[in-house]
Structure 1
Amino acid sequence: MGQASIQVTPPAVPAEKVTGPWRDAWKAFRKNKTAMLGLGIIVFFVLIALLAPFIAPYGFKEQELVNRLKAPSADHWFGTDDLGRDMFTRILYGARISLWVGFFSVIGSIVVGTFLGILAGFYGKWIDMLISRMFDILLAFPSILLAIAIVAILGPSLQNALYAIAIVNIPTYGRLVRAKVLSLKSEEYITAARAIGMKNNRILLTHILPNSLTPIIVQGTLGIATAIIEAAALGFLGLGAQPPDPEWGKMLSDSRQFIQKAPWTVIFPGLSIMLTVLGFNLVGDGLRDVLDPRMKN
């Protein structure tokens, strides 16, 4: 007489106990108070950038010469500039420009730098030599001077400033990815993938690229802060956003002659730049502590 088999169903794992590398990283990130502060600052500026048309009490181009250089008041919370434009409104719209330049210049740098870094690190030989020498040439110039030269050639504009910032930061991500690929391609699972006949393109997409994302994410977050500063520097020199666009660096440049007479025209744009850069730096440091194995105990 046969004996009936008994199947035992394993107990379901509660949703809150399900773990994974990204879930664990988020839990560790949330425990970092300074990183969460930085995230809060970033979310705040992103929200005011998105909601600027609904929050702003005036148009950013709207001029009232009779109210020029007015101190902060109930009508103008951050005062007015030398053309009678509301500073609070221009700060809100300026967040759009600075964040837009920061995000998209870094995305461009990451895409091109990652592609070149993977080619150099994975294939090596003359490809590595050619790409590495190109990186060395770009890194031989101070980034801001190279950005100024590029914008001077292309012409002053916000879009050209974005291109310049993206170009000067390509070597940073390219060399970072190249170093990571050099360490990854000697791993046993890469050797095993080649042994079973996996093509190079598939190895790059399924093994090399996913395992190279961690340093890119950390450096990219820190790079946004750098890009915002560079955009402000180009705007200050008149090579970035052109009037009447309310870019924070350009606002500082236009207000530097009124530092003593109307200090609020300098304080609020400068404070906005400082807080935004601080937010991205705090988040970048927090991500490095969470994602970099060398930072873990």
Structure 2
Amino acid sequence: MGQATVNVTPPNVQAEKVSGPWRDAWKAFRKNKTAMLGLCIILFFVLIALLAPFIAPYGYKEQELVNRLKPPSAAHWFGTDDLGRDLFTRILYGARISLWVGFFSVIGSIVVGTFLGVLAGFYGKWIDMLISRMFDILLAFPSILLAIAIVAILGPSLQNALYAIAIVNIPTYGRLVRAKVLSLKSEEYITAARAIGMKNSRILLTHILPNSLTPIIVQGTLGIATAIIEAAALGFLGLGAQPPDPEWGKMLSDSRQFIQKAPWTVIFPGLSIMLTVLGFNLMGDGLRDVLDPRMKN
């Protein structure tokens, strides 16, 4: 007779679920209520930006001078501006501009700053001194004043405002990456990689950059909020988006003379900026709590 196979695995032992650092981070992030609130706010504005052509009841350039400065109503949910344009429609399209500037200016800052920070931290010597002094020079100027100077040289436009915001934020990411690379260089696994003859380029791509992502992600999320504020400031000064583009900062600038007569023309663009920045700040704080080992118990 054949012998029956005996299952030696205890019945109360279950197979371990597949886990990893990013999966664990997402689980911890979901437990942070304020971070999830921030994520929901961001997703809301991203959604209305994507669906603006389908949601907007009017064209953002459409003028009805007979309906100038009308208060919120069933026909115009957020009221109208001094040219009779529907504010609700312009807020929807303004989300596209603000998020576009925020995301792409931060991406540009991260790419250039990470490249320079890796060079400075990994190779050191005169390269480190040259790049670090360049960062110091950029950081010596207040960011908004430097952005104003760059846009004044390039010319007022939304694209030039994006370039200016990206340039002034490069040192933030560059110094952050440089500090991280300097700490990673002394790790034993980097020494072992060099001992077995691994090339510097491979060490950078397989060991240094992957282990430098955490602070970049956190700072990048917070940096989008800063970029949106800077874009609004440039727009308010007339150096960002130009008419008739519905940029929130420009909308505030155009409406400041109607604050007492038509306060809704200022309230709704201001609330949009505040809520968007709040969302990125809340999510950024949540990511820092989850990804930064110093914040864990």
Bucket of the pairwise TM-score, normalised by the shorter protein: over 0.9
* Matches of 1:286 and 1:218, distance apart in 2: 9
5+ long unaligned stretches in structure 1: none
Distance 2:223 2:13 in 1: 39
Unaligned runs of 5+ in 2: none
Q: After alignment, is 254-263 or 10-19 more displaced?
A: 10-19
- TM-score for both structures, normalised by structure 1: 0.96
Q: How large is the RMSD of aligned CA atoms in angstroms?
A: 2.4
Runs of 4+ deviating beyond 4 Å? 1-16
C-alpha distance after superposition, 1:202-222 (max 9, x if no partner):
000000000000000000000
Shift of 1:16: 8.2
Shift, 1:286, TM fit: 0.1
Residues 178, 62 of structure 1: CA spacing in aligned structure 2 closer, same or farther, 3 A cutoff?
Answer: same
Task: Report whether the alignment pairs 1:21 with 2:21.
Answer: yes
Of 15-24 and 216-225, more deviation after overlay is shown by 15-24
Distance 1:243 1:254 in 2: 10
Alignment correspondent of 2:222: 222
Q: Structure 1 residue 17: deviation in Å?
A: 2.3
Query: 1:45: Cα distance to partner?
Result: 0.1
With over 3 angstroms needed to count, the CA separation of the structure-2 counterparts of 1:54 and 1:11, relative to structure 1, is farther
Distance (Å, rounded) in 2 between the aligned partners of 1:6 and 1:189: 44
Residues 120, 47 of structure 1: alpha-carbon distance in 2 compared, 3 angstrom cutoff: same
Shift of 1:18: 1.7
Give the deviation of 1:92 after TM superposition.
Answer: 0.1
Residues 95 and 210 of structure 1: is their aligned pair in 2 closer, same or farther, counting only changes over 3 Å? Answer: same
**Residues 5, 129 of structure 1: CA spacing in aligned structure 2 closer, same or farther, 3 A cutoff?**
farther
In the superposition, relative to structure 1, how do residues 87 and 177 fare at CA in structure 2: closer, same or farther (>3 Å)?
A: same
Counterpart Cα distance in 2 of 1:202 and 1:182: 17
SS at match of 2:209: helix
Counterparts in 2 of 1:21 and 1:154: CA distance versus 1, 3 Å:
same
1:52-75 superposed Cα distances (whole Å, 9 cap, x missing partner): 000000000000000000000000
Shift in CA distance, 15/91, structure 1 to aligned 2, threshold 3 Å = farther
**1:77-109: CA deviation from partner (whole Å, max 9, x where unpaired):** 000000000000000000000000000000000
1:112-143 alpha-carbon deviations (Å, 9 max, x no partner): 00000000000000000000000000000000
Distance in 2, matches of 1:17 and 1:296, equals 23
Deviations 1:138-193 (A, max 9, x none): 00000000000000000000000000000000000000000000000110000000
Report the 3-state secondary structure (helix = DSSP H, G, I; strand = E; otherwise coil) of the residue aligned with 1:85. coil
Query: In structure 2, how many angstroms separate the alpha carbons of the residues matched to 1:120 and 1:10?
Result: 55
* C-alpha deviation, 1:7, in angstroms: 11
Deviation at 1:14, TM superposition (A): 7.4
Q: Percent identity?
A: 95
SS in 2 for 1:95: helix
TM-score using structure 2 length: 0.96
Deviations 1:272-294 (A, max 9, x none): 00000000000000000000000
- 1:19, distance to aligned residue in structure 2 (A): 1.1
Which position in structure 1 is the counterpart of 2:211? 211
Label 1:92 to 1:14 Cα distance change in 2 as closer, same or farther (>3 A): farther
